[in-house]
Amino acid sequence: MLHSDFLQENPKLLIFLPIYYTLWADSVLTPTEIKEMETLVNKQNWLKKKEKTWLLQQLDPQNPPKPKELKAWRKEIKSLQLNSETSLTEIGVSLATKYASDISFIPKTIQSFEKTEELLGLLGKEARYSFQAGHQTITTSHHAEQNFEVKEMTKILDGRQVDLIKRVKTVISDPSFAFQEFESLTAQREQTLLWCQELAKQGFGAWAFPKFANGKDDMEGYFTIMETLSYHDLSMVIKFGVQFGLWGMSVFFLGTEKHHQKYLKDVGSLKLPGCFAMTETGHGSNVRGLETTATYNHQSKTFTIHTPNPDARKEYIGNAAMHGQMATVFAKLIIDGEDFGVNAFIVPLRDSKGNLISGVRIEDCGRKMGLNGVDNGVIYFDQVKIPKENMLDRFSSVNETGEFESPISSDNRRFFTMLGTLVGGRIGIPRSALSASKTGLTIAIRHGEKRKQFGPEGGEEVPILNYRMHQRRLMPPLATTYALHFALRYLTQRFLDRSEEDAQEIEALAAGLKAYTTWFTTATLQECREACGGKGYLSENRIDALKNDTDVYTTFEGDNVVLMQLVAKNRLTEFRQEFSDINMFTIFNYVANQAKTTITEKNPLIVRSTDQTHLLDMDFHLSAFKYRERAILSSAAQRIKRHIDQGMDSFDAFNVVQHHLVNVGQAYIERVILEEFQKVVMETKDQGTQKALEQLCQLFALHTIEKNRGWYLEQGYMEGIKTKAIRKEVNQLCWDVRKNALALTDAFDIPESCIAAPIAKR
């Protein structure tokens, strides 16, 4: 069944066929290839002249074999049903042997063929795959192979909140909560309100409020609700947060009994929709500079709320454009011309029919990148009078004689104390963000498992999750999501247990984890979008909404860059306090610790160690994180001090090191995250789960070290040989974690109705 007359007549020439086919398979013969093949042909003294001529004719780049001929060659070779042949030469020998009667030329000629094959860099083993049916590879056969019980893992993730989580999931899985495509902004906002009303009916809105307001007095539960709702529509979550978290908690934490009695019940039932009016056009991050005024009039015992200039209008206020009837307004209190700093007041915006109160003007912020179910607005106050009792007077008040009273002397200090009580927002937001990451990763990982593309020559296509780059995109974020889950639980617990002493530490922790988690979410959802290709760009697959709705999380509740500086400043204060204790023992201790680091950690054997046991060792990870946290803080402190000592203004000095300070914050937060994750790993009893968590913890740790390797190398804490070994270990961990990946997202136990993406359909 030979295709060419000439070959049919001269079957010995078939020994050339595999090499010829392989060279022509890319349709191009390079000059080198021609030269080598000519040499090979001319060397064969068993060939007749016309055979040589024919063979040389087949090497003319101007005159390639016809497509049909090339196909015939291939078919011929495939028909051999290759067995043990591993080089093109061997395949050629088999072919010739099959058809030629005289094969005595073979033994003496093999060597020259093999040499040519090698010179041309043709990989026989590779080339033969195109002649075979199946072709298995390590990459092809890698697959999901979970080694733990999903339910056990879910139990650990849910912890003691399991019942409440189930309850919330049941509600948001109800058909009335099905995702919709909205016809207009108004339709979306109305639906969002309806959903929030339903949640209020379920008692979720009042959860953190006192019993008399139909609440459960359960702040922890409130965070759990926020987190679990965040598997569903995020406009709904933010509107929920505005109403019950910002508006409600400001009444609860800044007001006193009379306010609680008067408002909390209606806030919790959503009978009284409200706003949290702090940000102004001119002052967002720097809220200390707010300009709205609340002027006290002792005669009428009222405050007059006023927007003195356009930059002082309240801006971006959730619930303001459509539904809000009241607002907690932050304004500078003026008594007798004297400014007592920013205080909080309850100010009506609309009557219960929705008509604006006289003196209040509201504009709609319009379309946003996301969260379009939330009706943000701009508010102007034109001399709006409110009764004295509307001052939220937990931290300051005006007494019977019209004098200002407060246990906190300093206006700034008082304002920041007030803000401090509202730190809960910086816990709710990252927990909501992390839920969005979980949903995004669930979608992307399911897609990566189902989507096949490319494969070995002649073999099946491979799930894209088997590709190393795809694993690099999704496995470290999966590990970090687990890490952050436990870190945010720790933050919540610290917040619940807070005392006056650790209030500032917890504020810094919340600020840092808010910034870290929301940046992580933005980056992760971007990866998920790209990892799902064009499918990830379709709104039906939900990554669109997840990404765009959470995008502003890096901005609200405090811009992340500003927050990270706040964290760093808090660390610097602690650092300074340690020294200004003027306690010789402390300083001695610190110096001794530094020296110990140098001696044990910078030991040449350790900085160069590539031993796997060492690289995977949790103690090594934690010391590396702690070393970074400490060293980077100490060098920032030294730099600032040096600049100031040299006469630089401290404002300038802090600006010069701003980039450094963000790293101080990051390093601190990363240490906390790792420490808490390691604790969970060590406390986990179930062996399968423990092993799976340990692997994630190792991946989080090594991936973070890898990310910071430039710094570690600069410090001499590691040498290149070690950071290279770490990179290899990260790759390996990604490869291994990939086996559990699907199960690890199953353990999030996100309702299928919330995942919703067709590409993630089970």
Q: Is 596 in the site for its own copies (CB under 8 A)?
A: no
Q: Of the two residues 411 and 746, which places its CB atom closer to its own copies in the complex? A: 411
Among 187, 496, 656, 682, binds its own copies (CB under 8 A): 656
Name the DSSP letter for residue 247. Answer: I
Burial 698-712, CB ≥16 within 10 A → b, else e: bbbbbbbbbebbebb
> Terminal CA-to-CA distance of the chain, rounded, Å?
49
Q: How far apart are CB 183 and its own copies at their closest, in Å?
A: 8
Query: Any bridge partners for residue 377, and if so which?
Result: 317, 364
Instruction: Find how far residue 418's CA is from the centre of its chain.
Output: 31
Choose the stretch contacting its own copies; rule: CB under 8 A; options: 482-490, 529-537, 680-688, 739-747. 529-537
Query: Alpha-carbon distance 158 to 497, whole Å?
Result: 20
Nearer to its own copies, 622 or 713 (CB): 713
Specify the residue for token string 């005595």.
104
Please tell me whether residue 344 adopts helix, strand or coil conformation. strand
Q: Is 554 in the site for its own copies (CB under 8 A)?
A: yes
CA 143 from centroid of its chain's CA atoms:
24
Q: Which of residues 147-176 bind its own copies (CB under 8 A)?
A: none
CB of 436 to its own copies, least distance (A): 15
Do the beta carbons of residue 22 and residue 127 sit within 8 Å? yes
Give the residue carrying structure tokens 């790993």.
681
Helices of type H across 120-184: 124-129, 138-141, 150-158, 162-172
Q: Of 98 and 288, which has the nearer Cβ to its own copies? A: 288
Edge to edge, what strands does the sheet with 377-381 contain?
Answer: 314-317, 377-381, 360-364
Under rule CB under 8 A, residue 540 binds its own copies: yes
The token pair at 416 is 């920041």
Nearer to its own copies, 103 or 408 (CB): 408
Site for its own copies in 490-519 (CB under 8 A): none
Residue 420 found at the interface with its own copies (CB under 8 A): no
Output the smallest distance, CB 525 to its own copies, in A.
11
Which of 287/618 has CB closer to its own copies? 287
Q: In whole angstroms, what is the distance from residue 325 CA to residue 754 CA?
A: 31
* Positions 40 through 99 that interact with its own copies (CB under 8 A): 64-71
Query: If DSSP codes are grouped into helix, strand and coil, which group holds residue 306?
Result: strand
Asked whether position 574 contacts its own copies by CB under 8 A, the answer is no
Report if residue 650 touches its own copies, rule: CB under 8 A: yes
Closest by alpha carbon to 699, among 418, 449, 481? 481
Binding of its own copies by 588 (CB under 8 A) = no
The answer to whether residue 489 forms part of the interface with its own copies (CB under 8 A) is: no
577 near its own copies, judged by CB under 8 A: yes
Q: Which of 176, 399, 401, 409 binds its own copies (CB under 8 A)?
A: 409
Which region among 1-9, 121-129, 210-218, 236-244 touches its own copies (by CB under 8 A)? 121-129
Among 467, 575, 623, 626, the residue binding its own copies under the rule CB under 8 A is 467
Q: Does 400 bind its own copies (CB under 8 A)?
A: no
If the CB atoms of residues 497 and 501 are measured against its own copies, the closer one turns out to be 501
Nearer to its own copies, 423 or 734 (CB): 734
* CB closer to its own copies, 682 vs 721: 721
365 binding its own copies? (CB under 8 A): yes
Identify whether the C-beta of residue 345 lies closer than 8 Å to the C-beta of residue 391.
yes
Is 713 one of the binding residues for its own copies (CB under 8 A)? yes
**Residue 722, token pair as written in the block:** 């070690």
Q: Residue 472, interface with its own copies (CB under 8 A)?
A: yes
469 binds its own copies (CB under 8 A): yes
Q: Which residues of 421-431 are buried (b: 16+ CB within 10 A; e: fewer)?
A: ebbbbbbbbbb
Q: Which two tokens stand for residue 593?
A: 């610790």
Contact between 644 and its own copies per CB under 8 A:
yes
* Residue 28 near its own copies by CB under 8 A: yes
